[in-house]
């Protein structure tokens, strides 16, 4: 009978744990740290807590990494996540003046202005960013760099994340291939000089305390994150394939298919005509490898005057308005959280709904920004540790406080604000701009995606319904009277005998007609004045000439108005005799 395997005693198990904590145990690579192949691609719950990244996901990451630089939709998503998240770039400040010089030296020498964008792209494409801050040698000679280096390691090169039995990460196994070109000889050489690089596979176990790792879309216990492009990749490919197919078909139709009409032709003459065409075609191959027959460029075919040849019109386009293609775009947009308007020509969007859709997307982008800031904070902590090790940060913060917080905590790393265009804020801004006459009302309406003609009609309707009751002439419109001359009209009508005219006409009817005519003349002069002002442009002399003409014309109307109303008043005074 085989001897049963002895179960380790409790003490031995506890010792093993303590040994691991002390680092006594050599890190082992367990099976679960490999890129495992699962038939179904579904993770086993029990393997969580270690680097479990199945080969399906690794190959997906490789596909995305290859596609985003060729696929316009994938590129747009990656670019939006990067540019919108970082915009003008992260900013580093500190209230501790002594911390800024070494921090800025780290920033400058490691080109963190560019590195942050590379990190955002990496995070979007792979769901992970690995930054390495290696240990540095003590600078001994003058001129040696005292600044630690910060480098990004491509996520796909991190082949394994090594954990110990407790799940603590101990090392990152990096695998990559370098192209070795051998020695470089300067000067002009004879011969073809083809240099064939020799690929060399390399690997390195990087200690965990040199790596800063941030990730997104990682569930509890997941060691690696997942790219937001992973679920959308196939829909993007499908969309592009559909687009390409539509384009090819349209192109082929326009090139190949023609309509030939033979006036009065019979079957024999038509057959002869077709034979003429076929004998004059050439075979071409399209980029996808399909053969098709077409008339060669510049080819002349002789028929007769009864034959009319018309190419079949075909629209060569890939319209996003096709419902199937739009649904494909929507699938991509849903996966990455980008509003449809950013992935299409905006046919289906208006400003208000697009603005509403952008709000959750901007929050998503803000979270990406926070991840990059988190990466930078981790890198600066390690970098300051390296420098502090050799006393290069003396005096940055008081040493007696070092147990309370890390020296890098004095740095404040922030990202640019990410805000959506709030419709109400935009509207208020546009009102201010139009009041200040910086932009026209029409331009403001276009910003708000309003129809200018409708707005003009609305303004006109509101004015005719009644404008301001007061203006700076101090004349208040008397409520209850029609305008103008309403009060005057009322006064006449209220007289004891409103119809003293022998013919029974309302009194002073002609006078009111005259008044309205005179007022109409003034309106005409205003229009003339207006036209002249626009034509004058910035010419002040022309403006003055327009002013003189206007005032001269209108003053005479005023004088006439005075005469008729004064006469009306005199008549009224004598009317009650």
Partner 1 sequence: MPTIDVFAVGLEAKAVNLLAQMAMDLIAATLEVSFTDDVAVLQEIVDDGAAQLRRRVDMMADMYAWQNYQLGKVEGSEEKAASQGRRAKYAWVLDAGAQHCSTCLTLAAGGPYTLDELPGIPGDAPTDCNGGCRCDLVEVGA
Size of the site for partner 1 (CB under 8 A): 63
Q: Which helix (H) or strand (E) is 553 found in, with range?
A: helix 540-575
Nearest to 387 by CA among 558, 142, 136: 136
Determine contact, residues 354/448, Cβ cutoff 8 Å.
Answer: no
Shortest spacing between CB 569 and partner 1, in angstroms? 2
- Which CB, 313 or 569, lies closer to partner 1? 569
Residue 478: CB minimum distance to partner 1, A: 5
Does residue 473 bind partner 1 (CB under 8 A)?
yes
Instruction: Quickly list DSSP for 278-332.
Output: HHTEEEEE-TTS-EEEEEPTT------TTEEEEEPP------TTSHHHHHHHHHH
Q: At what angle do helices 55-67 and 233-256 cross, to 10 degrees?
A: 50
- How many C-beta neighbours within 10 Å does residue 130 have? 25
Match 């060399």 to its residue by tokens: 200
- Interface of this chain with partner 1, residues 521 to 550, rule: CB under 8 A: 522-523, 526-527, 529-530, 533-534, 537-538, 540, 543, 547, 550
**458 forms part of the interface with partner 1 (CB under 8 A):** no
Calculate the CA 427 to chain-centre distance: 21
Confirm or reject binding of residue 517 to partner 1 (CB under 8 A). no
By beta-carbon proximity to partner 1, the closer residue of 2 and 496 is 496
Query: Which CB, 18 or 540, lies closer to partner 1?
Result: 540
> What is the closest distance, in whole angstroms, from the C-beta atom of residue 511 to partner 1 in the complex?
10
- The contact pattern for partner 1, residues 394-433, with x = CB under 8 A and - = no contact, is ----------------------------------------
Q: Does 476 bind partner 1 (CB under 8 A)?
A: yes
Q: Which is nearer to partner 1, 173 or 564 (CB)?
A: 564
Is residue 118 helix, strand or coil?
Answer: helix
Residue closer to partner 1 by CB (options 300, 494) is: 494
DSSP string over 42-64: PPPGGGTTS----HHHHHHHHHH
Least Cβ distance, residue 431 to partner 1 (angstroms): 14
Q: Which stretch binds partner 1 (CB under 8 A): 25-33, 57-65, 163-171, 520-528?
A: 520-528
Cα–Cα–Cα angle for 6, 10, 16, nearest 5°?
95
And the tokens for 177?
């291939």
- 490, 493, 505, 517: which one binds partner 1 (CB under 8 A): 490
Q: How far is CA 215 from CA 62, 131, 220, 371, in A?
A: 17, 12, 12, 8
> 163: which strand partners?
169
Q: What does DSSP assign to residue 429?
A: H
Which one among 250, 276, 477, 500 touches partner 1, defined by CB under 8 A? 477
Nearest alpha carbon to residue 332 among 320, 324, 340: 340
Smallest gap from Cβ 544 to partner 1, in A, equals: 8
Stretch that binds partner 1, among 58-66, 139-147, 268-276, 566-574 (CB under 8 A): 566-574
Q: Answer yes or no: are the C-beta atoms of 394 and 407 closer than 8 Å.
A: no
81 vs 550, which CB is nearer to partner 1?
550
Q: 377: which 2 tokens?
A: 């904070």
Residues that bind partner 1 (CB under 8 A): 437, 439-443, 463, 467-468, 471, 473-481, 483-488, 490-491, 515, 518-519, 522-523, 526-527, 529-530, 533-534, 537-538, 540, 543, 547, 550-551, 554-555, 558-559, 561-562, 565-574, 576-577
């Amino acid at each position: 009978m085989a001897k049963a395997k002895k179960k380790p005693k409790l003490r031995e198990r506890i010792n093993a744990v303590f040994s691991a904590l002390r680092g006594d145990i050599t890190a082992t690579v367990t099976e679960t740290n490999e890129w495992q192949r699962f038939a179904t691609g579904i993770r086993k719950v029990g393997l969580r807590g270690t680097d479990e990244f199945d080969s399906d996901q690794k190959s997906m990451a490789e596909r995305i990494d290859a596609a985003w630089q060729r696929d316009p939709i994938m590129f747009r998503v990656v670019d939006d996540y990067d540019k919108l998240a970082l915009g003008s770039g992260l900013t580093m400040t500190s209230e501790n003046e002594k911390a800024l010089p070494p921090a800025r030296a780290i920033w400058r020498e490691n080109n963190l202005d560019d590195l942050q964008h590379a990190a955002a792209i990496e995070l979007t494409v792979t769901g992970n960013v690995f930054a390495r801050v290696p240990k540095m040698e003590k600078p001994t000679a003058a001129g040696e760099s005292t600044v630690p280096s910060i480098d990004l390691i491509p996520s796909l090169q991190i082949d394994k994340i090594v954990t110990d039995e407790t799940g603590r990460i101990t090392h990152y196994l990096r695998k990559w291939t370098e192209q070795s070109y051998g020695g470089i000889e300067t000067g002009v050489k004879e011969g073809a000089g083809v240099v064939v690089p020799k690929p060399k596979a390399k690997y390195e176990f990087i200690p965990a305390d040199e790596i800063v790792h941030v990730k997104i879309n990682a569930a509890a216990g997941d060691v690696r994150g997942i790219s937001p492009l992973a679920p959308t990749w196939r829909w993007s490919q499908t969309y592009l394939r559909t687009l390409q197919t539509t384009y090819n078909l349209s192109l082929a139709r326009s090139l190949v298919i023609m309509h030939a009409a033979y006036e009065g032709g019979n079957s024999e003459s038509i057959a002869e005509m077709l034979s003429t065409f076929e004998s004059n075609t050439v075979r071409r191959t399209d980029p996808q490898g399909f053969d098709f027959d077409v008339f060669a460029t510049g080819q002349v075919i002789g028929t007769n005057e009864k034959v009319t040849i018309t190419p079949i019109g075909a629209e060569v386009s890939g319209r996003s308005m096709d419902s199937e293609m739009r649904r494909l775009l929507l699938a991509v947009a849903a996966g990455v959280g980008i509003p449809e308007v950013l992935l299409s020509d905006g046919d289906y969007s208006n400003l208000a709904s697009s603005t509403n859709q952008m709000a959750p997307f901007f929050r998503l982008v803000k979270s990406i920004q926070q991840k990059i800031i988190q990466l930078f904070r981790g890198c600066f902590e390690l970098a300051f540790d390296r420098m502090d090790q050799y006393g290069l940060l003396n005096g940055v913060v008081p040493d007696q406080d070092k147990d309370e917080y890390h020296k890098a905590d004095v740095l404040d790393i922030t990202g640019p604000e990410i805000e959506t265009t709030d419709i109400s804020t935009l509207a208020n801004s546009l009102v201010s701009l139009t009041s200040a006459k910086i932009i026209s009302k029409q331009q403001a309406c276009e910003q708000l995606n309003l129809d200018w003609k409708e707005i003009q009609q609305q303004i006109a309707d509101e004015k005719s319904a009644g404008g301001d009751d007061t203006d700076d002439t101090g004349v208040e419109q008397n409520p209850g009277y029609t305008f103008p001359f309403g009060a005057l009209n009322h006064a006449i009508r209220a007289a004891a005998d409103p119809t003293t005219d022998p013919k029974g006409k309302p009194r002073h009817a002609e006078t009111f007609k005259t008044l309205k005519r005179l007022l109409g003349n003034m309106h005409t002069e205003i229009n003339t004045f207006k036209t002249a002002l626009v034509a004058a442009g910035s010419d002040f002399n022309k403006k003055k000439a327009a002013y003189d003409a206007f005032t001269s014309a209108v003053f005479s109307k005023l004088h006439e108005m005075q005469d008729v109303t004064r006469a009306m008043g005199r008549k009224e005074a004598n009317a009650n005799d």
